[in-house]
Structure 1
Amino acid sequence: MATWNSSNTTTTAQSESHTATVPLANGWIHQPDGRGTLDIIKSCLLTVFLCSWSAICLNVPPPARHRWSFLQLKFNWMIFTIFFPEVVVALAAEQWESACQSVNDFQNLGYPQWTMRHAFFADMGGFHLQSPGFPAFPVDGQQLVYLVEREHISYPHVDQDTIRDKNKADGFARLISLTQMTWFSVECIARAIQQLPMSTFELSTIAFIFCSLNMFFFWFHKPLDVEVPIILRSETRIADILVEAGDRAREPYKTTPLDFLGPPERKTSIIALCKYGLGVIFGFGQEPANRPIKTFVNSRTTPYRGTTIREMLYGIAFEVVYFGIHLTGWNFAFPTSTERLLWRVASCQLLGLLLFYLAIITVFTYFYRSIARALFGRDATSMLGVADVCPRWVMFLAFYSVIVAYGTARTYILVEAFVSLRALPLDAYTSVDWANFIPHV
């Protein structure tokens, strides 16, 4: 049992569903014999940092980008992941689906040696096309299939070892993170078995671990921190490729000359509307102005055959479990009854916004044409097509309201998880008695 300074006092927190009072230890608790405040903070922060840093797999940066700017970009994405881990999981899931479709397409062309690692490497901008008289630009898996099928380039005979060699501490970094995640989870499970209370900081960390495990799964084959692409040289001029493509390649390109091979508007996608909304408010996911681009933006997903119903159901189940984890803190002991009430409100608000978002996705996915005609008197070809015909100020107001509501609740969850450490139940500082799990006479 941890010891408390004489300056620390104990108070009581009254639970709405319990008549007994819960003694709380106020202030900073030292850990000479058990665990203290610093132990909780170190364990949670270390777990969150390792998960967010090693799980994030960014695309290949522009050739001229400095190493420090790449680290800054990754740090920015780490902060974004801490606030919106479910969004990053959805991005990873669609990138995984795109890689699966790429592998299937190359196998149909007679190249079974094209693996998930190759597909991820291509979709993250690992291959750049160099044509006569035209600057090199990145090509994704779908575009490579087109170029190889029409013999504009030879099949890129790049083995997995070459791609793995460009990987930066892939296996080692993820092994350390998985070890920490496993130990943290086992300790929390053991505390639950021995009926020892946890802090809301630990509960939020468990939710983050759940998201990180999904990221690790979907990005398992995606190389980590690749900085130098592989150049694929073609003897065919870009102009000849566009002429051969016909009418679909006549429109001016926005990113690369192979934009005409980009994914069409998908009829089924959980993340598409979210990315659209973030783009309306923050410009999230927009392509650079320079043409052709030198790298793919990290929010880019290209499952050009869409997302299957099975995958959408998995995404819904994931979101419900993730937001449901916060609800398990419903009857936790908080420093004040107001903080407990706000935690409950924020948790319900996050879950309610999720259900509202899923309802909007369902309605607009199947009734987008009727909605566009009824509201705006115009035709739409997809869910995002309805957003395109909607007045800009209406879209901004709608997405801004949702993002503010979500951001407020999410920020409170994160802040309260930390500040509630100022007063925890006495048993929260009791270490797990591992001897009780060892069979003995």
Structure 2
Amino acid sequence: MRLLLFMILYLAGVIQAAPTTNATTISEDFEAPSFTNRTLWNIISSSVLTLFACIYSAIHPNIPSPKDSLFRILWRRLGTMIMALIAPELIVVWAMRQWMGAHYAWTQTHSFFVLMGGFMLYKDGKPHHTLLPNKVLGLIRKGCIDAPTLTAKEINDRSKGNVISKGLIILQVAWFILQLLSRAIYRLETTQLETGTLAFAVLNFLTYALWWNKPLNVQCPYRLYWMSTVSKPEDHIDVVSDDNEDHVLITIYKATFAPFMELMSLNVPTRQLRVPTFDGSIKLEESDTDILVFAGVLIATIFGGIHCTAWFFAFPTYREQVLWRVSAVAITCTPWIEILIYVAISMDVITNFIGGMMTVVVMYIFVLLYIVSRGMLLVLMFTTLRHLPVDAYTTVSWISVVPHL
């Protein structure tokens, strides 16, 4: 009897040992990835650094007026950064418009330089007017000014950016996207802050590609002196006053609609001593304008769609989840609604005055909806960090050895 009981226990032990042997064999053939932990500070610092690269370092502003104070230059730069936070697709469209408006009689570096206000006409030793590419060429042919001898290398020397500095920014953005891909592959939780930053990073690559040859943070234009004694500069250039202070309502209007209208050449602002930020003075072919509009809406859809990927993420509360979903859908669909309204107006579908006023009101409502939704997403990106899943603090070990800032 004792012998029978011993045999039963022995056989049971053999049966239980078999899966352990197989599991060991499998683990030797398929080695599990190595994971490590990250802190909340790691999540915030990498995301904020990438965001800063997207809304500050990637923007190539136009050359300021010689009369602009340092405060005004910084204030204008702050406004551009806020615009990049609220509507980053406008920055991409701005870069695309300048890329499409490049004058092929110049090198691309020269084209960007003159489009950003790089050539300033001087009369009697004082700055008189910034010159468009066709104006520069026309005045040279008429003998009013000497042909500029500025080379592309000299223009790049004025720039605050080079291949190394731009490469470092791209390296950081690429690393950020890579580490998010690794989290998706190994099914690790991603935060809403990282998802929102990813949307900026994707648009950042498009901006950098379009502005790769555009000088960065040039502060002083190249001087071209008026030489003709036959006529005055006013005979060739429409002289207008520089920026003036506007009424509060006009300022609000400019902040909401003016950037889009300028890019579409619907409202070309004055450019005496500096080029406006969203300059639309270079006329594009109708087909190019259509491409620009479609590209802008498509980019806005991509940007909003990336936010929609966080649809089923873990949120601290159900209310925050609903707010994120509604806001993500709003910024994805609102540009399409605005374009449809714009097409209806351009095709004279709405002819009576009341219908026109109602259309303007509806457009304002959707613009405000977009701005509020973008602001809500920016707030939720940070408030949802207060309660993260445990999995969100786990990261793949090899991502830390990839070079990044």
TM-score with structure 1 length normalisation? 0.71
- 1:299, CA displacement in angstroms? 1.7
CA distance in 1, matches of 2:230, 2:378: 50
Name stretches of at least 5 consecutive residues in structure 2 with no aligned partner.
Answer: 1-35, 243-253
Name the structure 2 match of 1:344: 325
Cα offset, 1:312, TM superposition: 4.2
Does structure 2 conserve the Cα–Cα contact (< 8 Å) formed by 1:131 and 1:236?
no
Q: Which moved more, 1:187-196 or 1:123-132?
A: 123-132
CA distance in 1, matches of 2:312, 2:145: 62
Residue from 372, 381, 392 that aligns with 1:408: 372
2:302 counterpart of 1:321: yes
Contact 2:256 2:367 (C-alpha < 8 Å) held by counterparts: no
Q: Tell me the alpha carbon deviations over residues 382-409 of structure 1, each in whole angstroms, 9 at most, x when there is no partner.
A: xxxx9xxx66xx6864443222211111
Q: Is the 8 A contact 2:54 2:204 kept in 1?
A: yes
Contact 2:143 2:227 in 1 (8 A): no
Equivalent residue number for residue 281 of structure 2: 302
Aligned in 2, Cα 1:62/1:41: closer, same or farther, shift over 3 Å?
same
- Equivalent pair of 2:188/2:391 in contact (CA under 8 Å): yes
What SS class does the counterpart of residue 60 from structure 1 fall into? coil
**Distance in structure 2 (CA, Å) of the matches to 1:221 and 1:208:** 21
The match for 1:71 is: 74
Name the stretch that deviates more: 347-356 or 195-204: 347-356
Contact 2:311 2:325 in 1 (8 A): yes
Selected match of 1:419 from 377, 383, 391: 383
SS in structure 2 of the partner of residue 431 of structure 1: strand
CA deviation vs aligned residue, 1:268-293 (integer Å, no higher than 9, x gap): xxxx997448789xxxx8857xxx83
Return the alpha-carbon distance in structure 1 between the equivalents of residues 120 and 160 of structure 2.
20
Identity of aligned residues (%): 27
Cα distance between partner residues in 2 of 1:225 and 1:126: 11
Residues 52 and 82 of structure 1 are in contact (CA less than 8 Å); yes or no, is this contact kept in structure 2? yes
Mapping of residues 192-341 of structure 1, within 5 Å? 192-236=184-228, 239-240=231-232, 253-254=239-240, 275-276=257-258, 287=269, 293-306=272-285, 307-341=288-322
Q: Secondary structure of 1:424's match?
A: coil
Q: CA 1:304 to 1:50, structure 2 compared with 1: closer, same or farther past 3 Å?
A: same
**CA separation of 1:238 and 1:35: change in aligned 2, threshold 3 A:** farther
Instruction: Name the residue aligned to 1:122.
Output: 114
d(CA) in 2 for partners of 1:351, 1:164: 38
- Where do residues 365-376 of structure 1 align in structure 2 (5 Å cutoff)? 365=346, 367=347, 370-371=348-349, 374-376=351-353
Cross-structure match for 2:38: 35
Counterpart of 1:90 in structure 2 is 93
Contact 2:127 2:273 in 1 (8 A): no
User: How much has 1:344 moved relative to structure 2?
Assistant: 1.0
What amino acid does structure 1 have at the position aligned with 2:89? E
Measured in 2, the distance between the counterparts of 1:350 and 1:312 equals 16
The Cα shift of 1:186 comes to 0.4
CA distance in 2, matches of 1:185, 1:170: 23
Query: What's the counterpart of residue 25 of structure 1?
Result: none
User: Given that residues 117 and 221 in structure 2 are in contact (C-alpha distance below 8 angstroms), is that contact kept between their aligned partners in structure 1?
Assistant: yes
Q: How big is each residue's C-alpha offset from its partner over 1:124-150, in whole Å with a ceiling of 9 and x where there is no partner?
A: 111011245975221121322332344
Larger radius of gyration between Structure 1 and Structure 2: 2
Q: Answer whether contact 2:114 2:131 (CA < 8 A) is retained.
A: yes
Equivalent position amino acid for 2:154 in 1: T
Count of equivalent residues = 349
**1:383 is matched with which residue?**
none
The CA distance in 1 between the partners of 2:130 and 2:233, in whole Å, is 16
For 2:255 and 2:280, the matched residues in 1 are separated by 13
CA RMSD of aligned residues (A): 3.3
Unaligned runs of 5+ in 1: 1-32, 107-113, 257-271, 378-385
- SS of residue paired to 2:220: coil
8 Å Cα contact 1:277/1:399 also seen in 2: no
Structure with the bigger percentage of helix: 2
Whichever residue aligns with residue 75 of structure 1, its letter is L
Q: Does the aligned pair in 1 maintain the 2:120–2:224 contact within 8 Å?
A: yes
- TM-score by length of structure 2 reads 0.77
Question: In 2, Cα distance between the equivalents of 1:202 and 1:90?
Answer: 24
